Structure 1
Amino acid sequence: MAIPISILSDIESRLNTVVKKVSVVSGGDINQAYLLQTTVGNLFIKINDRHNYPNMFSKERQGLDAIREANAIAVPEVVLQGEFGNDSYLILEWINIGSANMLASSKLGMGLARMHKNTNARFGFYTDNYMGSLIQTNNWYTKWSDFFIEQRLQPMVKMATDKNELTRNDVHQFDRLYKKLPGLFTEEPPALLHGDLWGGNYLIDTDGKPYLIDPAVSYGNREFDIAMTTLFGGFDPAFYEAYNSEFPLQADWQQRLKLWNLYPLLVHVNLFGASYAKQVRENLSIFI
C-alpha cells in the first residue's frame, strides 16, 4: 500500500524536506512501514489508523523517551510524530542493519542491565500504553506481585475468557496462582523495563551498536524482560553472560521464566487465538 500523497506533503512541509523515494519495509502486523529517502537523509516511517489505535505512536514515543533518558542503551531518534486525516504516523531515524554477533550481543546485554538499574519508587508507569495492539494499563503499585496480577494477568485473562479462548477452570487456576505468587519470588526495586523484548524488538547497526525498538515500558521486575527474551529465541548466550556480569540476576531466575511469560502468552491468546492457550496452561501448571 502506498503512502497517501496528503501525508507525504504534510511530512515534507513539517520537515522542510523533499521525499525522493518511498520503499516498503517490514513493520509488523499493525503498521504499514516504509523507508523514506529524502533530501535530509533516510528516514523510517510507520503508519496506522488513528481511530483503531488511538495515541499508539505518542505512547511509543513516550516509551522511547524514557529509555533514552536512562542513558544506558540506544533507541532510534524520534524525528516526527503526528496525525493527518484518519492516519497516525511516527518517523524515526533510519538504522542500517548489521550483524548480531557475539560482541554486539554482549553490548545489548550490558546495555539492558544498565537500563534496568534505573528505578522508581513504585511499579507502573506515568501513562498507559500498548502491548502489540492491546491497551496495557500501568497504574502504580508498591508491590510487583500486585502489579503483575492486577495490571498484567487479570485484564488478559478476562479478555481471553470473554472471547471463549480460556475456560472457567482456567480462571480458577489463575486464582490459585494469584494466592501463591508473592511466595514465588523475592521482591526487588522496580526496574525500567522495555516490556516487549522479543527478538524482533532490537536492532544491531553496521557498527555493532544495539538499539531497542517498539517498547511497552513500565517499571517492573527485571526478570520480566529477561523471561521474554527466551520466549521466541533470538538472543545469543553472550547476551545473558554480559547482563549477569553487569547486574547479576537472582540465582534461581531461570525457574521463573515461564511464570513471567504467562503475560505475553496471554496477549498472544487474545491476539491470535487458542493455539497459545495450551502453552498458557502448561506454564501455569508449573506454579500452582
Structure 2
Amino acid sequence: MAISAGVINDIEGKLNTHIKNVSPVGGGDINQACHLQTALGNFFIKINSLHKFPGMFKSEERGLAIIRKTNTTAVPEVVLQGDTGDESYLILQWIEAGRCDIISSKKLGRQLASMHYYTAAQFGFDADNYMGSLHQCNKQHNSWAQLFIEERLQPMVKMAVDKRELTPTDMYRFDELYKRLPDLFTEEPPALLHGDLWRGNYLVDTNGKPYLIDPAVSYGNREFDIAMTTLFGGFDRAFYEAYNQEFPLQPGWQQRLKLWNLYPLLVHVNLFGGVYAKQVRVSLSAFI
C-alpha cells in the first residue's frame, strides 16, 4: 500500500525536502512500514491509524528518548513524529541491518544490563503506552508484584475471559497465582525496562552495533526483559553470559522466566487466540 498524499505532503513540508522514492519493508501487523528516500537521505517510516492507536508513536518517541538518555545502548534517532488527518507517522534513522554475531550479542547483553541499572522511585511509569497494539497501563506501585498483578496480568486475563479465549476457571487459577506471587521472587529496585524485548525488537547494523527498537518502557523487575528474550528465541548464550557478568541476576531466575512471560503470552492470547491460551495454561501450572 502506498503512502497517502496527505502524509507525503506533511513530511515534505515539515522537513523541507523532496521524497524521491518509497518502498515497503517488513513492519508487522500494526503499522505500514517503508524505506523513505529523500533529498536529505534515507529514513525508516511507519504509519498507522491515529483513531485506532492514539498516541502510539508519541509513546514510542518518548520511550526511545528515555533509553537514549541512559547512554547505555543505541536506539534509532527520531527524525519526525507527525499526525495528519486520521494518520499518524514516525520517521526514524535508517539503519542498514547486518548480522548478529557473538561480539554483538555480548555487546547487547552488557548494554542491556547497564540500562537496567537506571532506576526510579516506583514501579510503573508516568504515562501509559502500548504492548503491541494493546493499551498498557503503567500506574505506579510500590512493588513489582503489585504492578505485575494489577496492571499486567489482571487486565489481560479479564480481556481474554471476555473474549472467551480463557475460561472463568482460568481466572480462578490466576487468582491463586496472585496470592503466591510475592513469595516467588525477591524484590529489587525498579529497573528501566525495554518492555517488549523479543527478537524482532533489536537489530545489529553492518558494523556490529546493536540497537533497541519499538520499546514499551516502564520501570519494573529486570527479569521481565530477560524472560521476553526467551519467548521466541533469537538471543544466544553469549548474550546471557555477558548480561550476568555485568549485572548478575538473582538465583533461580531461569525458573521464573515462564512466570514473567505470562504477560506477553496473554497479550498474544488477546490478539491471536488459539495456541497461546494453551501455552498460558501450561506456564501457569508451574506456579500454582
Structure 1 length-normalised TM: 0.99
Q: Distance in 2 between matches of 1:12 and 1:109?
A: 39
Q: Distance in 1 between matches of 2:95 and 2:165?
A: 39
Q: CA deviation at 1:268?
A: 0.2
Percent of residue pairs identical: 69
Give 2:76's aligned residue.
Answer: 76
The alignment partner of 2:51 has SS state of coil
Give 1:157's aligned residue.
Answer: 157
Give 1:17's aligned residue.
Answer: 17
Q: Distance in 2 between matches of 1:4 and 1:121?
A: 44
Give 1:195's aligned residue.
Answer: 195
Structure 2: state its 5+ residue gaps: none
The alignment partner of 2:286 has SS state of helix
Give 2:141's aligned residue.
Answer: 141
Q: Distance in 1 between matches of 2:248 and 2:189?
A: 14
Q: CA deviation at 1:9?
A: 1.4
Which AA in structure 2 matches 1:60?
E
Give 2:217's aligned residue.
Answer: 217
Which AA in structure 1 matches 2:153?
L
Q: Distance in 2 between matches of 1:140 and 1:219?
A: 9
Q: Distance in 1 between matches of 2:268 and 2:63?
A: 21
Give 1:259's aligned residue.
Answer: 259
In the TM superposition, what are the counterparts of 1:31-180 in structure 2 within 5 Å? 31-180=31-180
Structure 1 ranges of 4+ moved more than 4 A: none
Q: CA deviation at 1:274?
A: 3.0
Cα displacement string for residues 148-195 of structure 1 (whole angstroms, at most 9, x for unaligned residues): 000000000000000011101101100000000000000000000000
In the alignment, structure 1 residue 5 sits paired with structure 2 residue 14 = no
Q: CA deviation at 1:13?
A: 1.1
Structure 1: state its 5+ residue gaps: none
Q: Distance in 1 between matches of 2:200 and 2:33?
A: 15
Q: Distance in 1 between matches of 2:86 and 2:172?
A: 42
Q: Distance in 2 between matches of 1:86 and 1:61?
A: 19
Q: CA deviation at 1:6?
A: 2.0
Give 2:286's aligned residue.
Answer: 286
The alignment partner of 2:47 has SS state of strand
Q: CA deviation at 1:69?
A: 1.1
Which AA in structure 2 matches 1:2?
A
In the TM superposition, what are the counterparts of 1:229-268 in structure 2 within 5 Å? 229-268=229-268
Q: Distance in 2 between matches of 1:260 and 1:28?
A: 23
Q: CA deviation at 1:98?
A: 0.6
Q: Distance in 2 between matches of 1:203 and 1:8?
A: 27
Q: Distance in 1 between matches of 2:197 and 2:6?
A: 34
Q: CA deviation at 1:103?
A: 0.3
Give 1:270's aligned residue.
Answer: 270
Q: Distance in 1 between matches of 2:201 and 2:4?
A: 27
Q: CA deviation at 1:271?
A: 0.2
How many residues end up aligned between the 2 structures?
288
Q: Distance in 2 between matches of 1:41 and 1:155?
A: 43
The alignment partner of 1:287 has SS state of coil
Structure 2 length-normalised TM: 0.99
